[in-house]
């Protein structure tokens, strides 16, 4: 397809103040995802701000569901195993999948399925150092056709910090979802923890899910969820994705898979600016992450597990 005809796809629309690319989302689909989607009690949601390790967690959850057996991951594309239910196609796939379903989502909590808040369904929320998210997104925006070209890093950095990107602000997303900390059906883990100790992280995820795995099964999950294993699996590396959506001729979706790549992309001034906004946005919150400066752990306030929108009405 010629570049000029592709550019018509690179349009965003706003849904309740958040940008979405037109090619794969629609306002009607988002309304349905929010108000019409029927969450089942045994659903497992794989929720992230984009570029935080979504497909990695999806692979881990798929392998746990299959008791470490990689057959499902090697025969079914990840977007069918754990569809992004806010997309036009993902919604239908999620509705049609049999239980227990794995459902992926990048939605901020205020747009999430209302019926989740009346269910026993579980959320695994993966967070990642936002500087690495920025860098990963910067590269992704160059290969994912529905996204606008990111331009220069300093321009993109501004837009990211302002939340002027699809799915809105990283800060709002993380603060919104982490409001569920302490709820028994919510589990948060970081990309950095997965990197640091994949086996131990998978054990914690299993514990949260109430799924005990034998040692051998656990080993198989670890082996098949590695960056290299996923890169070689065409069901997980997006090589089956149509090229009108993803152009992997120059860069891969599974790009580097490391922590701290921001150091190779941000100047000292850009990093300092990021840190300043980060401090402003996160100040006063009892949240600490592996990438933060060490500080004493405060005690957590009691959790409020209800729908945040109902609270404010």
Burial 5-44 (b: 16+ CB within 10 A, else e): eeeebbebeebeebbbbebbbbeebbebbbeebebeeebb
The two three-digit tokens of residue 48, written as one number = 């992230």
Interface pattern 256-285 for ligand A3P (x via CB under 6 A): xx---x------------------------
As a three-state string, the secondary structure of 158-207 is HHHHHCCCECCCHHHHHHHHHHHCCCCCEEEEEHHHHHHCHHHHHHHHHH
Rg over CA atoms, the chain: 19
Is residue 54 within the footprint of ligand A3P (CB under 6 A)?
yes
Cα gap 171→277, rounded to integer Å: 10
Which of 46, 50, 129, 169 touches ligand A3P (CB under 6 A)? 50
Is residue 51 within the footprint of ligand A3P (CB under 6 A)?
yes
Provide, rounded to whole angstroms, the least separation between the CB of residue 262 and ligand A3P.
9
Contact stretch for ligand A3P (CB under 6 A) within 44-52, 182-190, 203-211, 300-308: 44-52
The two three-digit tokens of residue 221, written as one number = 């999950």
State the CB neighbour count (10 A cutoff) for residue 161: 21
Residue position matching structure tokens 């959850």 = 61
Comparing every residue's Cβ against ligand A3P, the nearest one is: 257
Q: Which is nearer to ligand A3P, 101 or 139 (CB)?
A: 139
Burial 290-312 (b: 16+ CB within 10 A, else e): ebeeeeeeeeeeeeeeebbeeee
Q: Which is nearer to ligand A3P, 141 or 217 (CB)?
A: 141
Q: Which is nearer to ligand A3P, 54 or 307 (CB)?
A: 54
Taking phi over 0 as left and psi of -120 to 50 as alpha, with beta for the rest, 68 belongs to left
How many residues of this chain bind ligand A3P (CB under 6 A)? 20
Provide, rounded to whole angstroms, the least separation between the CB of residue 10 and ligand A3P.
19
Q: Which of residues 115-174 bind ligand A3P (CB under 6 A)?
A: 132, 136, 139
List the catalytic residue out of 106, 139, 173, 265.
Answer: 106
Cα gap 106→218, rounded to integer Å: 27
Is residue 222 within the footprint of ligand A3P (CB under 6 A)?
no
Is residue 81 within the footprint of ligand A3P (CB under 6 A)?
no
Q: Which is nearer to ligand A3P, 140 or 278 (CB)?
A: 140
Please name the residues in contact with 145: beta carbons below 8 A apart, sequence gap of 6 or more: 6, 9, 10, 23, 244, 245, 246, 247
Contact stretch for ligand A3P (CB under 6 A) within 54-62, 88-96, 109-117, 285-293: 54-62
* φ, ψ (nearest 5 deg) of residue 253: -60, -50
Which of 23, 25, 45, 52 touches ligand A3P (CB under 6 A)? 52
Provide, rounded to whole angstroms, the least separation between the CB of residue 187 and ligand A3P.
17
Provide, rounded to whole angstroms, the least separation between the CB of residue 110 and ligand A3P.
20
Whether 106 is a known active-site residue: answer yes
Contact 213, 68 (CB under 8 A): yes
Provide, rounded to whole angstroms, the least separation between the CB of residue 267 and ligand A3P.
19
Query: In the complex, which residues of this chain contact ligand A3P (CB under 6 A)?
Result: 48, 50-56, 132, 136, 139, 225-227, 230, 254-257, 261
């Amino acid at each position: 397809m010629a570049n000029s005809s592709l550019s018509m796809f690179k349009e965003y629309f706003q849904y309740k103040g958040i940008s979405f690319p037109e090619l794969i989302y629609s306002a009607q689909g988002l309304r349905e995802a929010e108000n019409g989607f029927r969450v089942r009690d045994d659903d497992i949601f794989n929720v992230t701000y984009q570029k935080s390790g979504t497909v990695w967690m999806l692979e881990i959850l798929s392998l746990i569901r299959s008791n470490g057996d990689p057959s499902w991951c090697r025969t079914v594309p990840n977007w069918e195993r754990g569809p992004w239910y806010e997309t036009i196609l993902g919604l239908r796939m999620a509705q049609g999948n049999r239980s227990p379903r794995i459902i992926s989502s990048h939605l901020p909590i205020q747009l999430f399925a209302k019926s989740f808040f009346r269910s026993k369904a579980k959320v695994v929320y993966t967070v990642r150092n936002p500087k690495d998210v920025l860098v990963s997104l910067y590269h992704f925006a160059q290969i994912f056709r529905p996204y606008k070209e990111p331009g220069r890093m300093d321009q993109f950095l501004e837009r990211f910090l302002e939340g002027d990107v699809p799915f809105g602000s990283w800060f709002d997303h993380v603060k919104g979802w982490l409001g569920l900390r302490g709820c028994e059906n919510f589990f948060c883990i970081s990309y950095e923890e997965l990197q640091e100790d994949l086996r131990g992280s998978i054990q914690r995820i299993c514990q949260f899910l109430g799924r005990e795995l034998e040692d051998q099964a656990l080993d198989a999950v670890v082996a098949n969820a590695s960056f290299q294993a996923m890169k070689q699996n065409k069901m997980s590396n997006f090589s089956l994705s149509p090229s009108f959506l993803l152009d992997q001729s120059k860069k891969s979706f599974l790009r580097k898979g490391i922590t701290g790549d921001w150091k190779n992309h941000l100047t000292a001034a850009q990093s300092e600016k990021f840190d300043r906004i980060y401090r402003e946005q996160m100040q006063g919150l009892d949240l600490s992450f592996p990438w933060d400066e060490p500080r004493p752990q405060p005690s957590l306030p009691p959790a409020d597990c209800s729908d945040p929108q109902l609270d404010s009405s």
